[in-house]
Amino acid sequence: MEARRHWDDKVTEKAKKSVNQELLVYKPIKEVKLENFKNVWTLICTVSYNLLADTYVQTEFSQMVLYLYCAPYTLELNYCQKLIQKELTGYNADLVCLQEVDRNVFTDSLVQAFKAFGLEGVFQIKQHEGLATFYQKSKFNLLSQHDIAFHEALQSDPLHKELLEKLVLYPSAQKKVLQRSSVLQVSVLQSTKDSSKNICVANTHLYWQPKGGYIRLIQMAVALAHVRHVSCILYPGIPVIFCGDFNSTPLTEMYHFVINGNIPEDHEAWASNGEEEPSNMFLTHFFKMKSACSEPAYTNYVGGFHGYLDYIFIDLKALEVEQVIPLPSHEEITTHQALPSVSHPSDHTVLVCELKWKQPCV
């Protein structure tokens, strides 16, 4: 507690007043004028962001260990929400996919703040927090939602029968996979200007544990099979945008699986955590996807770790990247040692890009 008292002594009433004044004129980290690019209705400004749920921030471990370098007031919910709202509304986005969203933050803060900018949202609870997807009402109508919890879908949906049959051969791994509460949010949107243009927007936050690579692989296999069912069977031929915090760097098996379309039976991912993990599992998926924002050095920067964990994956058959908004510089990120900080309310950075259809969707 001494460290906390030390910070409290340093943050005087004068300093707090100064901070509040800065909030009134706060602008997005990268001042971006996207309005000039958005006159064409085929462009889709897309945002993905892990907000850092307040339910995690307020734990003793976060306060006393994980974010010890943060002044206490920068971790307060009201302070963070002001920064988040100003950051996200500044991009004039068409799609906003958020992870680690507290339920009260969605209902009491984001819904009202985004409504003023023409955005409407849907929410899916995970356990202590959830996922939120917002869309620009002037540009899209919400046709349907197809949200799932991975562990429930894997056990009950015939779509995943073959994968489950492989997994049951490894009881310890099966138990760990089914214990995870991760969810997938899938929304089908229709263009308000061209009813032939529908799009499938997926949003997720995969399991976080560093040695849980095989769990993330199975979760992603379930996710892509489900998304294929929505985008190929229920709505044949519609393109996919898949956003989220995948807790996987570009060097991991999860990223390899998404980009290359398969994971071989003998991949090291199946043996990276000892004998408990499954082996001899060949995974494949239907899509040809790429990371719209390429591969920056990191999207998560905390004391002791930094890595590229967040992605906006796009369907290469139907979508292409028009432009990517640069991430904050390393100097900006490390000005206050790491994230979160006085100017960055989350330990993740925001991904922003503009996408466009390659050709009309059927």
Q: Would you name the residues annotated as active-site residues?
A: 245
Q: Cα–Cα distance between 355 and 40 in angstroms, integer? A: 11
Q: Are 243 and 301 in contact (CB under 8 A)?
A: no
User: Using H for helix, E for strand and C for coil, what is the string for the chain?
Assistant: CHHHHHHHHHCCHHHHHHHHHHHHCCCCCCCCCCHHHCCCCCEEEEEEEECCCHHHHCCHHHHHHHCCCCCHHHHCHHHHHHHHHHHHHCCCCCEEEEEEECHHHHHHHHHHHHHCCCEEEEEEECCCCEEEEEEECCCEEEEEECCEEHHHHHHHCHHHHHHHHHHCCCHHHHHHHHHCCCEEEEEEEEECCCCCCEEEEEEEECCCCCCCHHHHHHHHHHHHHHHHHHHHHHCCCCCEEEEEECCCCCCCHHHHHHHHCEECCCCHHHHCCCCCCCCCCCEECCCCEEECCCCCCCCEEECCEEECCEEEEEECCCEEEEEECCCCCHHHHHCCCCCCCCCCCCCECCEEEEEEECCCCC
- Beta-bridged to residue 95, according to DSSP, are 46, 135
